[in-house]
Amino acid sequence: MPLGRSSRLPSARLLTSAGPWLLVFGVLLMVRLSKGALLSDAFALLSRPFWPGSAQSEWLRTAQQVDQQARLAALEQDNRRLRQLLDLQRRSGDDTVTAPVISRELGGWWQQLVLGRGSLQGVSPGDPVAAPGGLIGLVSAVTPSTARVTLLTDSSSAIGVWVGRTRRHALLVGLGTSRPLLRFIEKDPGVRPGDVVSTSPASTLVPPNLTVGVIQSVEEQAVPAPEAIVQLSAPLEAIDWVTVQRRGVRS
C-alpha cells in the first residue's frame, strides 16, 4: 500500500505544478484563435463601469464645438490678414515695397521690428513704414536684405502731426508703451477724444495726411500746453506685413 501511494504522489505533484502553465497556455491559445477578440471583449467588460455617461458625453460635445469655433475664428482671421496683404500690394506703386516682419524682440515690442527687405530693394534709413490702418514708424537702419524700423511708440520717436478737425499741429512722441503722447503747441488746441490724428502737411519726414491714430484722452492741465494719449490705428501688436515708402525713388 505504501508503494502504490508513493507512486501516485509524483504524478499529482507534476499535475499541480504544471496546472498554472497549462492555464496560461490555454488562455494564449484562445487569444490566438480569436485574433484578440476575446481579450478586447474582456477589457470592454471590465472597463464598462468607467465609460462616460450622459454628462461626460455632453462635455465631449461641448469641447468639440469649442474646437470647431476656434478653428473657424482662426480661418476668418487668416482671411482678413490675407485680404489686408492683398490690399497693401494693390496700393503699392513704384515708390513703395511690401515687406514681411521677420523679427521682433519681446523686450522691445513697442520699440522696433525688423523687415525682410533691405537696400537691395531700395529701402533706406528714414523711409516711412505703414501697415493696414496707418503709419507705424520710420526705417532706422538697413542691410542688403533687412531693415530695422523704429516704431512711433519708441521713446526716441518724434514726428509732426495734426488734428484735421481743428487743424492744430502737435508733436507725437513715443513713450515706450503701446500708446504715444501728443504734445500740442497751442495752449487751447480744442481737441477731444475721438479726434483723428494724421501726419502733418508741413512734415518733411513723412508724407502728409497719413492716418496715425485716434485721441483717447486729453490732459488739459499739462504744462506748458495740453497733451493727449493716442491710440494708433494700426494694430502694432499683430503686424506681419507692412509697406515701405521708398523716398529714394520718388518722382
CA atoms within 13 A on the CB side of 233: 18
Domain with CATH 2.40.10.340 in the chain: 97-249
Could you read off the pLDDT tens digit of each residue along the chain, which spans 251 residues?
A: 454 555 555 555 655 666 666 666 666 566 555 555 656 666 666 666 656 566 666 766 777 777 777 777 777 766 776 666 666 656 555 688 989 999 988 778 889 999 999 999 999 999 999 998 899 999 999 999 999 999 999 999 999 999 999 999 999 999 999 999 999 988 899 999 999 999 988 888 888 889 999 999 999 999 889 999 999 999 888 888 899 998 865 44
**Helix crossing, 37-47 with 2-34: angle to 10°?**
90
**Dist CA 216 CA 152 (whole Å):** 16
Quote the pLDDT of residue 48. 62
**Dist CA 180 CA 228 (whole Å):** 9
Amino acid at the residue 66: V
* Start-end of H helices in 177-245: none
Element (H, E) at 231: strand 227-232
SS3 state of residue 131: strand
- The DSSP call for residue 107 is T
Q: What is the pTM of this model?
A: 0.65
CA diameter of the chain? 129
Residue found by looking up cell 529701402 in the block: 123
CATH 2.40.10.340 fits 97-249, yes or no: yes
Residue 77 has φ and ψ, to the nearest 5°, of: -65, -40
Cα dihedral across residues 135, 137, 141, 144: positive or negative: negative
Quote the pLDDT of residue 100. 92
Quote the pLDDT of residue 251. 45
Element (H, E) at 93: none
Residue found by looking up cell 464598462 in the block: 48
Quote the pLDDT of residue 3. 47
